[in-house]
Amino acid sequence: MQEETREFIKKFEQDYEIYIDASDALTYWIINARIPNDPTEGVHHLHHGKKFVSGPNGDGNVLILSNPQSSDAYSVESWGKMETIDDFVKKALTRLLADKDAADKGNEEGCTTSCG
């Protein structure tokens, strides 16, 4: 991973308080995102962890686990050409921001209806 991408991750973590762990293996890439609970919202909050999995031979396909700590449910999306983990990280962080914005506006299902 390039130093520029590492700095991009650090700035993202500071700006949004979403903690990122990016792994670059030989045949796959994994990004784990931890979005901390907001103490003003109590234990349950609209945000949750996400995991993105792809790789250099994935043809732009990304496996997305929306709540990997409590569910094996996943979806698959095509994010276009990604040649390096740096490309993957930038697209994943953009996606995380979009998901966070949607959750902040109440467009995603929260724990009040899905946690059990």
pLDDT of residue 112: 35
Residue type, 77: E
The partner residues of 36 in beta bridges, in order of sequence, read none
The partner residues of 31 in beta bridges, in order of sequence, read 22, 52
Q: Which has more confidence, 108 or 63?
A: 63
- The answer to whether 116 touches 53, Cβ cutoff 8 Å, is no
Residue type, 45: H
DSSP 3-state assignment of 74?
coil
- Say what angle helices 3-16 and 85-104 make with each other, to 10 degrees: 10
Q: What is the DSSP letter of 37?
A: P
Arithmetic mean of pLDDT over the chain: 83
Averaging pLDDT over each range in 7-21, 35-49, 95-109, which range is the top one? Answer: 7-21
**The residue to which tokens 């650090």 are assigned:** 10
Q: Which has more confidence, 44 or 15?
A: 15
User: Structural domain boundaries of the chain?
Assistant: 3-107
Query: At 49, is the pLDDT very low, low, confident or very high (cuts 50, 70, 90)?
Result: confident
